Structure 1
């Protein structure tokens, strides 16, 4: 996995295990969580671009090659898998990863270059904007393994496409093309595979030039909009405006409008 911050302020996070379908190890998952948390408070990072190497796979899910701790025998006489251990593993692993993407204060773009399956689908869908190569595919593979969807899948899918379509995706586990994913509302835009890096870079740099605080506050408001009542949503919006206008970017935007010039946002 590679992480770099470009001179334009884009944090580029690249999954780099093409031979394993860019499947995520536990260590990689924790590294992504840490990087996203650090990026929230790093003034050098104005936007984040998440993609992968190769032209076949974005992320095929969790790397199941190594046994999890819960699968190894415990002390003599103790149960091999204590009650609640699987739930704790999911909560502390896949769900933390998805929450880290959604809670990051910087906008996150997914550039899906190939197949996204399992937690790889949810990693992409948790991002604020999703670009996909025309060759990309999205597969809710859990049902094929006899598993219930996890990693925040039900939460994300229901909000993006509604309960009926979410059930279709989860129940059948069919491979969904990039074009169909766009038509469902899972993807913002589909581009030719050869153009994906350039378009994704343009989107990320455009966000990096924007008012970082306003974007982060807007992200939080939208993510919470379906979870609360109108009064709560309105109150949080008013507070977000208060926070934004107390910063330099909010004031710069108004000054630039009055002075009829392009604003220069600095990220605070």
Structure 2
């Protein structure tokens, strides 16, 4: 899968968008492979955390604008464009809804248009100092087609989200950290080591509790407080029956570091 690299080491899966000469813009093959490896991450219990990054100096420029121009000139219908999104691009965010393991995005450079939206899908986002973000759809007379109009206001508030969507202007890494778009900004050479270290920390933690907490956060975003408390009680019952819970409580009593097995 030359357009998308995938490797697993020590419970961590790394996905690298690998079209650096084209700004890691999407192709149908890349999107298909991306969905496939995400499904591997969902199904394989040995994988406990996932890191996404881009090859080269750009994280992801989203859709291939040159390709889109050729297709539009060839008479692409509105139905065709919608089906391209539904059958290909949207497969990534919808598949990610099934991933309850930590998904860390290491933004190594510019993230624009649907490339920015793909970055927004991370549970945690770390950015290189050279990174910058733009909802650049408006620059080509388009609208946010990959979930950005839904995700961005929930992260940074409606006024700032609309400013980014309406102008398409870049937000630099430091500003992205200030407004809560990313968790942390790091020197370029420290981005991937930091992201991998966080992935390793999570991969070596109590897996069931980590996965359930992600589910609780997602559930809480669309439920009442009372419903969230009921769900929390159910999750607590599940966690209390795990080996990791017994190991954690024993280690606490014995004043030692716990060794988790992920079950």
Same fold per TM (> 0.5)? yes
Shift of 1:31: 1.7
Name the structure 2 match of 1:246. Answer: 241
Secondary structure, in 3 states, of the residue corresponding to 2:40? helix
> Contact (CA 8 Å) 2:114, 2:144: kept in 1 or not?
no
Secondary structure, in 3 states, of the residue corresponding to 2:125? strand
Name the structure 2 match of 1:186. Answer: 181
Shift of 1:139: 0.8
Deviations along 1:217-241, one digit per CA (max 9) or x if unpaired, are 1112212322221122222222222
> Contact (CA 8 Å) 1:102, 1:127: kept in 2 or not?
no
> Contact (CA 8 Å) 1:49, 1:200: kept in 2 or not?
yes
Candidates 197, 201, 216, aligned match of 1:202: 197
> Contact (CA 8 Å) 1:98, 1:122: kept in 2 or not?
no
Q: Give the 5 Å matches for 1:81-92.
A: 81=77, 84-92=79-87
> Contact (CA 8 Å) 1:116, 1:136: kept in 2 or not?
yes
**Where does structure 1 lack aligned partners over 5 or more consecutive residues?**
74-78
Candidates 12, 15, 19, aligned match of 2:21: 19
**Structure 2: distance between partners of 1:243 and 1:86:** 44
> Contact (CA 8 Å) 1:102, 1:126: kept in 2 or not?
no
**Where does structure 2 lack aligned partners over 5 or more consecutive residues?**
none
Candidates 2, 6, 12, aligned match of 1:10: 12
Q: Give the 5 Å matches for 1:35-74.
A: 35-54=37-56, 56-66=57-67
Secondary structure, in 3 states, of the residue corresponding to 1:106? coil
Shift of 1:159: 1.0
> Contact (CA 8 Å) 2:7, 2:14: kept in 1 or not?
yes
**Structure 2: distance between partners of 1:12 and 1:80:** 35
Shift of 1:189: 0.3
Shift of 1:102: 4.0
**Structure 2: distance between partners of 1:217 and 1:119:** 29
The number of residue pairs the alignment matches comes to 259
| TM-score after normalising by structure 2 | 0.90
Structure 1: which 4+ aligned runs deviate by more than 4 Å?
64-68, 70-73
